[in-house]
């Protein structure tokens, strides 16, 4: 059985509090001497869902760099592309759902001992650590 992290310690257990918890969790693991490795799975199938395969990629030292006006911006080093996640979006027009997303579109954030799931109404992002 997987151990669940209890987020009820926060007075206002909302998506905003969950985002702050996630930010803190990632910040605590951000270390270039002993890098944290993540595998990200993005599952956002089109409405017809025909021949859909989720997007999978690896990120080192994933962090939430900013939360402003309900927009969450993430960054980290993309191992295969040899570029930062945010720079890959700006320089190469490669946009992952993890790059930038809005707090209002989040249904819930779940964390356990193996992965974090950020659920949206049209799919989810799962971050394995």
Tell me the per-residue pLDDT of 9-36, one tens digit each, with 9 for 90 and over. 544 458 888 999 999 999 999 999 999 9
The full set of domains in the chain, from first to last, is: 15-45+53-128 (2.30.29)
pLDDT at 122: 93
Contact call for residues 42 and 54 (beta carbons, < 8 A): yes
Bridge partner list, 63: 75
Q: What is the mean pLDDT of residues 52-67?
A: 96
What's residue 80's pLDDT? 86
Residue 6, pLDDT score: 52
pLDDT of 47 reads 86
| CA 104/CA 15 separation, integer angstroms | 8
Beta-ladder partners of 110: 117
pTM for this one?
Answer: 0.85
């Amino acid at each position: 059985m997987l151990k669940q992290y209890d987020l009820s310690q926060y007075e206002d257990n909302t998506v905003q509090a969950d985002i702050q918890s996630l930010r803190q969790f990632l910040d605590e693991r951000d270390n270039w001497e002993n890098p944290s490795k993540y595998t990200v799975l993005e599952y956002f199938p089109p409405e017809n869902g025909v021949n859909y395969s989720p997007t999978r990629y690896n990120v080192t030292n994933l962090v939430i760099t900013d939360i402003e006006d309900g927009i969450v911006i993430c960054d980290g080093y993309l191992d295969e592309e040899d570029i930062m996640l945010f720079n890959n979006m700006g320089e190469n027009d490669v946009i992952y759902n993890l790059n930038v997303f809005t707090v209002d579109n989040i249904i819930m954030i779940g964390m356990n001992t193996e992965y974090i799931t950020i659920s949206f109404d049209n799919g989810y992002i799962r971050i394995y650590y």
